[in-house]
Structure 1
């Protein structure tokens, strides 16, 4: 059906996820057909020796023993058993390659997806006769599918014609060839037919993939009102709010931890709380809290401090007070000047003595 002109906005991630959960994904069946044909050609190349041997055995038996074959229930059973084994030897590896190629092609287009919603009957569409007739007669996609089918039929039909037309002079000498030569000729001719059909099929598949993904994007577009409604719904969704809050906290914590190497001292309590302080008289009148945390975050702060040779000082009351009162990026309150200044003075004295 024609695309809704009111839907001008690209689909949001939430809309894409919902559409995907419903089983509505962009996938090109024509590309799958083309890659399967390519896989068949590759399998023919890989297993041509084994296939030729099995065909040789079948031809040899047909030419030497078929006319003297004793028709009994046991011999017929043995014949079918032998024929089934030969067919399995020829076809199972071939079919295995086709399955793997088909699976990988679909997986690359769709990704990992498992949903049962595609099997649920859509009763509203089944009983909506007017829309069904409209889709059947006036849907532009119908003409696209028809064009693809005609092109594929031409590709598959013309390939044998072109190959066999050129091979007619080579058919008569086959009657004088041995079974192995006949098998090799059949395989090479079949491979040539496949190759002739493969080139246009790949072109159709690539073109259909581009069209399919474009059409999918058009179908999942949203109107401006749809986007606004979704945004309002997400704002009111506590699950979304919690996710946004968690993401914001991770970003803040990451930024905070990056500042720890700039600290002059880390005051801790010794296992549960850690406060990273920096004092630069040129930047602020009092020490600034660069980072603070409890439990796991406190351990991270102390670990970074040790890695950067920043001194750790244990002061339980001061650590608790700083964590409770001061936010990251703020200077410490006046009532804590003396306690913090005492620690900084000790560090300065220790540093000066060490340098001597």
Structure 2
């Protein structure tokens, strides 16, 4: 009794790697190994990298927009048409200035997702599920191991980003202390350069943590989709079919083939036998095939049944042990006999036809 319970327990324990079908089904549901921090880190790194190249262009364009606004828009009368003109012109300039940054962020986000999970399009994760509103399950999620891991990740991210920005500021402490003595434009340039440096360094630190998080997410995902031995057996039954049912189907197919074969025996011209073990029924129909072909064949019990049906239908039986054994091994039902047996079979058929004519 206890041994049976132990076996059932181990059979239900999820210790096996997920099968390809389980992985495919999980992927269709949107369940994949993915770290959101990878997307954030790569997007930030791409944005700050782009800003380090195009910040001067964006600053110049923004300065011209403010200059034009103060010199032109403030002098225009407040009318409906003028307001429309101002709004459309400002929107056009903002798209021209911020559009490249947004495009870079979009490309970086798509690339980060593709690197992790490839091409995947599914709406399963955004479907509303009532079980998510269960307060008991929500309470369990708060105090689960995953929640503690997420808390640890947040602390590490704050620590790494804070340390990265502090290192950049400490390395440029002289410039920071001199900001109060510089003109506004020069001070803004220094602040902008420091901001870009801090952004790039912080993004690189965040990317390092994101890679570690991705490795953890992959491990956790593999663990979550593990299967038990019973799961593998059930999956095999569902995909390949129950072995007992398959064996029954094969048995029924063999029985049907046997019945069809036995129905052809009365049309045979001759049955060649090895007295007790083999029987091969042959027929020659020049309109169907150029050579005699096998109508039925069998060994032991089937051979006896073929001979019984042949005797009931007055089909002549010829005993030829080597020929019967060779035909049984080298010919298939419905196929013409092999060429090396043409002469021997032709002599037998000639004898059979002579005997029929005499009768």
- TM normalised by structure 1 equals 0.58
Match of 1:334 in 2: 340
In structure 1, the residue matched to 2:277 is none
Mapping of residues 162-181 of structure 1, within 5 Å: 162-164=167-169, 166=173, 167-175=175-183, 179=185
User: Helix, strand or coil for the counterpart of 2:18?
Assistant: coil
Query: What's the C-alpha RMSD, in Å, of the aligned pairs?
Result: 3.8
Instruction: Tell me which residue corresponds to 2:156.
Output: 151
Query: What whole-Å deviation, never above 9, does each CA across 1:270-306 have from its counterpart, x for those lacking one?
Result: xxxxxxxxxxxxxxxxxxxxxxxxxxxxxxxxxxxxx
Distance in 2, Cα, partners of 1:168 & 1:224: 64
**Structure 1: runs of 5+ lacking an equivalent:** 242-315, 339-356
- Runs of 5+ unmatched residues, structure 2: 1-11, 247-287, 294-329, 345-359
8 Å CA contact retained: 1:155, 1:200: yes
- Cα deviations across residues 133-187 of structure 1 (Å, max 9, x unaligned)? 22222x11101111112222334445555545523234235416xx5x5665444
- The partner residue of 1:135 within 141, 153, 169 is 141
Counterpart mapping for 1:254-333 below 5 A: 332-333=338-339
Cα 1:116–1:130, aligned 2, differ >3 Å: closer, same or farther?
same
Determine helix, strand or coil for the equivalent of 1:105.
helix
Is this contact kept in 1: 2:161–2:205, CA < 8 A? Answer: no
Question: Residues 57 and 10 (structure 1 numbering): CA distance in 2 closer, same or farther, change over 3 Å?
Answer: same
Residue of structure 2 equivalent to 1:263? none
- For each residue in 1:307-352, what CA deviation from the matched residue of structure 2 results, as whole angstroms up to 9, or x when unmatched? xxxxxxxxx977998xx9579xxx95523599xxxxxxxxxxxxxx
Task: Tell me which of 46, 66, 85 is aligned to 1:39.
Answer: 46
Give yes or no for contact 2:16–2:226 (8 Å, CA) kept in 1. yes
What secondary structure is seen at the aligned counterpart in 2 of 1:73? Answer: coil
Quick one: which of 204, 209, 218 aligns to 2:209? Answer: 204
Aligned to 2:29: 22
Preserved contact between residue 45 and residue 204 of structure 2 (Cα < 8 Å)? no
Counterpart position of 1:117: 124
> What is the CA–CA distance in structure 1 between the aligned matches of 2:130 and 2:21, rounded to whole Å?
25
Contact 1:36–1:101, Cα closer than 8 Å, also in 2: yes
Equivalences, count:
248
Once the two structures are overlaid, the 10-residue window that deviates more, 106-115 or 26-35, is 106-115
* Residues 77 and 126 of structure 1, relative CA distance in 2, 3 Å threshold: closer
TM-score if structure 2 supplies the norm length?
0.58
**Gap change, CA 1:116 and 1:122, over 3 Å in 2:** same
Output the CA distance in 1 between the equivalents of 2:95 and 2:120: 32
Q: Is the 8 A contact 2:32 2:221 kept in 1?
A: yes
The alignment partner of 2:183 has SS state of helix
2: CA distance between counterparts of 1:54 and 1:319? 92
| Shift of residue 61, structure 1, vs aligned partner | 6.0
> Which whole-Å CA distance do the structure 1 matches of 2:93 and 2:203 have between them?
27
Q: Give, in whole Å, the separation in 2 of the partners of 1:318 and 1:185.
A: 98
